[in-house]
Structure 1
Amino acid sequence: MLTLSGVGKRYSTGDRALTDIELILPKGQVMALIGPSGAGKSTLIRCVNRLVEPTQGSIRLEGTELTKLSGHKLRHARRSMGMIFQEYALVDRLTVMENVLSGQLGYVGFWRSFLRRYPQEAVTEAFRLLERVGLSHAIDKRADALSGGQRQRVGIARALLQSPKLLLVDEPTASLDPKTSRQIMRLIRELCAERDLAAIINIHDVALAQQFADRIVGLRAGEIVFDGQPSELTSEMLTTIYGEEDWDTTPEPIDDEAVDDGPEASSYPANMPAMAAGSAR
């Protein structure tokens, strides 16, 4: 579905952020990007949707070469890539519903969006998505009145209103407490399964990546140094990715069934792979 071949990024300062990235992401797979700060995780995600311009290589989404697109064709291609941001990227003075409907900007254009003239089917879908992410009670609340977890749920609903084929998720739990972080990762995982969506999630928390991702890719200094299943991420490999540390000294995993996730949490099968090998924080 998504293929990256020889992708590199060098900034005008001469600093190289990515070197010869080779990745194939099949439909429906949830892939976590891990690695130390400055490893190139955010740059890689932003190269896919061209928020950052790669300096070399090929990026193909369902056969379309994204690096060759510009103008209208690039805007059209971005409809297929829903972006979920670390800092939510909501408009604080707008309501929850208005922020979600802004996910239709790529379809209705700026002026129709500015005048709140959205197709009825988009409004109906926005209501449905807000119910799915547990925010049907907050439709008319301003975004600045929400908690961090609620704001992230708005961002998820907004991305899904684009009807994307791919989710690009940049540090979705960085500003959240541990319980809310688990809820948000579980929700993203469930929604990808329900919609057969592929996702790339840039995340610092290794334990969350191991619990909720199908595949983990480790970056160090802009290069891929690990690509495999969560169960294959050993202490030795964590040392390769992050550097020397006692990765075997970790807290006991939280028993999911012992956690009261509250009325907004969504369920997830209890047989997920166990958390292992610690957090990168």
Structure 2
Amino acid sequence: MINFNGTIVSQDANILTQNRAFLYGDGVFETVKIINNKILFLEDHYFRLMSSMRVVRMEIPMNFTMEFLEEQILALVNKNGLTSSSRARITVYRNDGGYYLPQDNTVSFLIHALALENSLYSFEKKEYEVDLYKDFYVTKQLLSSIKTTNKIINITGSIFANENGLDNCLLLNDSKNIIEALQGNIFMLMGNKLITPPVSEGCLNGIMRKQILSLAKQIENLDVVEEVISPFDLQKADELFITNVIKGIQPITQYRKKTFATKISLQLLAKLNEMISST
């Protein structure tokens, strides 16, 4: 018998008491966007998932090919009638057994999906305010660049943002440099220079980050670089925006007393939708 939320239930109840992702955060995941029964950026997602599994020393099943992953996600999306526009998350976790030391490195996976309102990317022209989250810092290491089921900094940061009437927060690494937002990578425009922190600073190796870096290099007279961003740089920036696969691009309009434009954000949004429509 165990106690689950104040109720005594039998141990064979489906509460996942041995699930290592629940007990130890021993899992990795990918969140994908599906439009018209097509997974966007599938190859990038697949290779990042495989890389994440190798980093945490999970055993990759022989049948875990890109085609298998695509088939499994789309089977669920079709079953639930979500083919036109949806998001799906695949979580891979080490199988039950052991404490900190697992009994083996075999894995299981779980996929769930939800409908999205819009097919193409868009953003509302409204105020979007951020501030720094300084209660905890992200370490500059390889684990910080992958998507694991241990996201307690993002959770506590989201609570902080909500309590303070903010739309988002910017995370700092252990050198006190800005690396990303709570739900995506950060880009900063300063003059004709578009800057995003390098992955070595501890930011997520984002799929949309990769797309935006490529698209931004197509804009004439725009210098696109990966450089360290300090909190002091924000007061000198012309634009700030956040990127992730589900939202696409989210412009930041205010940081403390500083307000920002959205010109480059709009240009990149148009290029992003043009790219998706042509594939």
- What interval of TM-score do these two structures reach, taking the shorter chain for normalisation? under 0.3
| Structure with greater Cα Rg | 2
Q: Which has the higher strand share?
A: 2
1 or 2 for the larger relative contact order (CA 8 Å, sep ≥6)? 1
Q: Give the TM-score of the pair, scaled to structure 2.
A: 0.25
Q: Which has the higher helix share?
A: 1
Q: Give the TM-score of the pair, scaled to structure 1.
A: 0.25
